Amino acid sequence: MRCAVLGDPIAHSLSPVLHRAGYVAVGLDWSYDAVQVRSGDLAGFVDGLGGPEGGWRGLSVTAPLKREALARADVVSARAELVGSANTLLLTGQQVHADNTDLPGAVAAVRERYDGTIRHATILGGGATAAATGLAMVDLGASTVLVAVRRPERAREAAERIAAHPSGPRVDVVGLDDASDDTDAIVSTIPVSAQTERLAAACAGVPLMFDVVYDPWPTPLSAVGSVVVSGLDLLVHQAALQFTAFTGLAAPLAEMRAAGEAALRERVS
């Protein structure tokens, strides 16, 4: 069977490394590739694969295609509907099933490293990943969420998605300069280029810093926070959930993580 990760750009993705390592660990003779698919082209690409009859089983989806993936699906999971985007497409027969493993992957990544209470959370950025990780913070106990962005009008959908969580959290949108360590957890979904010295100083001292970036690493924001959760932590846990969805087998988490860590070390050597 064939699987792949789709996005634009995509050459940097570690997903092939993780999934291939998983296949080797469980003895599956499957393939997993990185395929560049531009914005607006996802539906046509998926329709051309032929599903399982064409040898295709699953697709991981990254920026800028996560909302397109949701729109293409025939069946949508409750959490993908809640997030408003999909990072996982499962091809079964004539149907395409959409899911979002970023949300539960973020929960698992945090709980692997941090057992503290999260009542107040701050999300830096306002895109699809901000919505997923913001909802994850609410799953972890946050009753108030602050979405901090450079252009508040662009965070409206993410804020509305987080506020739609069944627990009914309070969600406010502010400028990025208003972010501070006066919170239980900060999740950064912004690129390294936006992680200024001023922002890092404002966030210093936060109990939990969760930076979804994994390359380059470390980042300016990874230097602050009593406990740090990395983008690789998130990538591994969401990929493990995808692996199980695609194969029906328990994911070999340790082997997948080790492969990702080795690949990142090789990139900086």
Q: What is the CA radius of gyration of the chain?
A: 18
CB 184 within 8 A of CB 207: yes
Q: What is the spatial distance between Cα 176 and Cα 182, in angstroms, rounded to a whole number?
A: 14
Query: Among the options 19, 66, 72, 257, which is catalytic?
Result: 66
Give me the amino acid identity at 25: A
Q: What is the DSSP string of 80-124?
A: HHHHT--SEEEEETTEEEEE--HHHHHHHHHHHH--S--SEEEEE
Cβ within 8 Å of residue 248, ≥6 positions away? none
Give me the amino acid identity at 144: T
CB 244 within 8 A of CB 250: yes
250 catalytic, yes or no? no
Q: What angle do CA 176, 180, 184 make, to 5 degrees?
A: 120
User: Strands 31-36, 170-175: parallel, antiparallel or unpaired by DSSP?
Assistant: unpaired
Q: Which of 27, 1, 76, 17 is nearest to 249 (CA)?
A: 27
Q: Which of 214, 221, 206 is nearest to 118 (CA)?
A: 206
Q: Which of the 8 DSSP states describes residue 120?
A: E
Q: What is the spatial distance between Cα 194 and Cα 190, in angstroms, rounded to a whole number?
A: 6
Task: Name the 3-class secondary structure at 101.
Answer: coil
Task: Name the 3-class secondary structure at 75.
Answer: strand
Residues annotated as part of the active site: 66
